[in-house]
Structure 1
Amino acid sequence: MDDEQVLAEFRAADALLEGHFILSSGLRSSRYLQCARVLMNPVRASRLAAALASRIPAEIRESLDAVVSPAMGGVIIGHEMGRALGIDAMFVERPTGTFELRRGFALAPGAKVLMVEDVVTTGLSSREAIRAIGEAGGVVVAAASLVDRTSGPVDLGVPYFALMKLDVPTYAADALPPELAAIPAIKPGSRAA
């Protein structure tokens, strides 16, 4: 799948939104990819995960013991990546503000993990999830996401693979262009800004 084919999947699901959006990072954007909508169809989610899995080099895919994703946004794509790779999928969540494995999830010491997210913008959540996986005994050998919105290189400390790169400018709340400032901001994601 190339970027246009992936965008077509988002358009078909009415998941490519235009307006004034507050991202999880607190930054603002004129475009938002609502991954929950694109992943709500299990056939589409499976197709996107299989395409993403194919972007990961075989030597990494074959070494993996588990997929771990951050809740909320990464849960569905993490599960589908587990299915595509034929390995267990679990997630970290923030019950007290810091990511941790819960619900009886556990990693064997030294387990090789693929950390999967829906969208990476600043890489902050990814790095936090990778840290939590390490604290739980896993070793993250690579990271992946459906969408790379970093608008440049991002250092997650491991190889990073994305199904699609989307370069959309982001702005601090106090540095909006006039056309964006004129539109009411909405927070479509799962986390308060």
Structure 2
Amino acid sequence: MTQDEVLDEFRAAGALLEGHFILSSGLRSSVFLQKMAVFQDPVRTERLCAALAAKIVARFGPVDVVVSPAVGAIVPGYETARQLGARSMFVERENGVFALRRMFKIPADARVVMVEDVITTGLSSRECLEAIRHEGGRLVGAACLIDRSGGRADIGVDRVALATLDIPNYPADALPPELAAIPAVKPGSRSLGGAPA
């Protein structure tokens, strides 16, 4: 699947939004990827995650376990694991820190890949990877549907992405005039469930 085909899937789902958005990182952007509009369609999600699974196998080889950060990456993590014939797990915040819960356990010899939905700054990816390192298994790499950092977000491990975009993000006190003129909305999920915004 080409990058344009990936973006076409987001456009067709009405998930490529333009305006003034407060991202989960707190940064501001004129573009927001409302991936849940994509994930509500199982057929579209399957197409994207099958393509991501193929890239994962090509780069990292066989995978035993896929781990994703809650909430946004649970669906693509599960579907990518299904495509890989792997187990699917997710980390969620416990006292503000990502951890495996719900009886999830990574076998000691398992080959593990972290699957994200969208990477912007890499914060949730780094936190998820840290949780995986505490649990054992062999972390072989990471993957995401869209890397909107242009490949610059450092997550500390090798990664693959279906699409790599260079979408500018701005601190709230350094907005370009055209963005500052639009009211900001916060469509992300990081502040749900008591997690830090």
Taking structure 1 as the reference length, what is the TM-score of the superposition? 0.95
1:175 is aligned to 2:174:
yes
- Determine the C-alpha separation between the residues in 2 that align with 1:19 and 1:67: 33
Cα deviation, residue 59, structure 1: 6.4
Cα deviation, residue 80, structure 1: 0.6
Contact 1:114 / 1:142 at 8 angstroms: preserved in 2? yes
Q: Structure 1: which 4+ aligned runs deviate by more than 4 Å?
A: none
Q: Percent identity?
A: 60
- Determine the C-alpha separation between the residues in 1 that align with 2:73 and 2:20: 23
- Determine the C-alpha separation between the residues in 1 that align with 2:137 and 2:70: 17
- Determine the C-alpha separation between the residues in 1 that align with 2:141 and 2:148: 18
Alignment size in residue pairs: 192
* 2:143 corresponding residue in structure 1: 144
* 1:100 corresponding residue in structure 2: 99
Contact 1:108 / 1:137 at 8 angstroms: preserved in 2? yes
* 1:154 corresponding residue in structure 2: 153
Flag structure 2 segments of 5+ consecutive residues without an equivalent: 192-196
* 1:5 corresponding residue in structure 2: 5
Give the secondary-structure state (helix, strand or coil) at the position aligned to 2:47: helix
Deviations 1:27-82 (A, max 9, x none): 100011111111111111011001111222436231x2100000001100000110
* 2:65 corresponding residue in structure 1: 66
Task: Report the residue type matching 1:116 in the other structure.
Answer: V
Matches within 5 A, 1:1-40: 1-40=1-40
Cα deviation, residue 110, structure 1: 4.0
Contact 2:64 / 2:85 at 8 angstroms: preserved in 1? no
- Determine the C-alpha separation between the residues in 1 that align with 2:182 and 2:160: 33
Contact 1:19 / 1:31 at 8 angstroms: preserved in 2? yes
Contact 1:149 / 1:165 at 8 angstroms: preserved in 2? yes
Taking structure 2 as the reference length, what is the TM-score of the superposition? 0.93
| Root mean square deviation of aligned Cα | 1.3
Task: Report the residue type matching 2:89 in the other structure.
Answer: M
Flag structure 1 segments of 5+ consecutive residues without an equivalent: none
Task: Report the residue type matching 2:154 in the other structure.
Answer: D
